[in-house]
A and B are shown apart, each in its own frame.
Chain A
Amino acid sequence: MSFILDRNDDVLLVDVEGQLVVTNRQEFKQAVLDAVEQGVRTVVVDFTRSEYIDSSGLGALVSLSKRVRDAGGDLRLAGLNDDLRTLFELTRLDQLFPLYATRADALAAR
């Protein structure tokens, strides 16, 4: 499991490979928080290559969403497959995050 970070001005694209779970949530959070501290205001997390997310991963996203909003930006999710989308619906967190089919859609929504 790893993340690929791609920053362009105030936009950060995070490509999540594998899982976003209890073992890597802190690493994920810190990477995004560092970018926000350095001026990023739009964060797009792309789950196209992700397998699953547990409650720790969901919690990290919830926490980051608030931190990014507090900084005047927003956090968007892209590339969720049907199973991951179901996870967000079950937890009603689909109401918290803007969900986009692709990273291009998420970036275009600026």
Chain B
Amino acid sequence: MATRLPSRVVRDAADPVTSPSAHVPGEDARTPITRAWRLASDLTLIEPVVETIVALCVSAGFPARHCHLNVPVAITEALANAMLRGNGGDPSRSVQVSMELDLQSLRVEVTDEGAGFDLVALQQSPDEADWFEREDGRGVFLMRTLMDRVESAGPDAESGHCLRLILHRAS
């Protein structure tokens, strides 16, 4: 007998941009599209932001694989990492997301209130002995594999810790 588990309710992400597919057509294609969000550390707020960024990439003509795989997975990783590791899951701590998209590339910056981390030290690999056993520890690998560049900056007292992800359309 089939049993449907209840869908999770996705709360409003307090996203000033509420209609992802409606942004691009009226905009000058030569002008970079920018969006910004400030989110509480609540995992349910990730999906609306990811969906908006993906929709903008679709509208900008990014390849299907970028829109279906690279962008949603890498951005989900970055936001979850910021909320869970950077902010320690503390809902009172916020995550700032800024996006810039043009016909050549997507740039996303995710800033949390944490102490940051060493990207190199967290560069896991499928060659590691426990890769096929452990549950966690593939997020940074996925971000670096699916994006052209992943950079870490900070932390500093004013701007926090920032992770910058860049994907070139032609890659």
Contact = CB atoms under 8 A, between A and B. Distances in A.
Contacts, number: 101
B141 interface: yes
Contact of B46 (A5, A23, A27, A90): A23
A23 B11 CA distance: 12
A56 B80 contact: yes
Interface in A37-78: 51-56, 58-60, 62-63, 66
Contacts of B32: none
Interface residues of B, number: 35
**Interface secondary structure of A, over-half rule:** mixed
The number of chain A residues touching the other chain, given as a range, is 35 or more
Interface of B: 1-8, 43-44, 46-47, 65, 68-69, 72-73, 76-77, 80, 84, 126, 131-139, 141-142, 145-146
Nearest 10 pairs of A and B residues by beta carbon: A59-B135, A55-B138, A83-B69, A92-B126, A2-B7, A55-B139, A63-B135, A22-B80, A6-B2, A54-B76
Interface of A: 1-7, 19, 21-24, 27, 31, 51-56, 58-60, 62-63, 66, 81, 83-84, 86-87, 90-93, 95-96
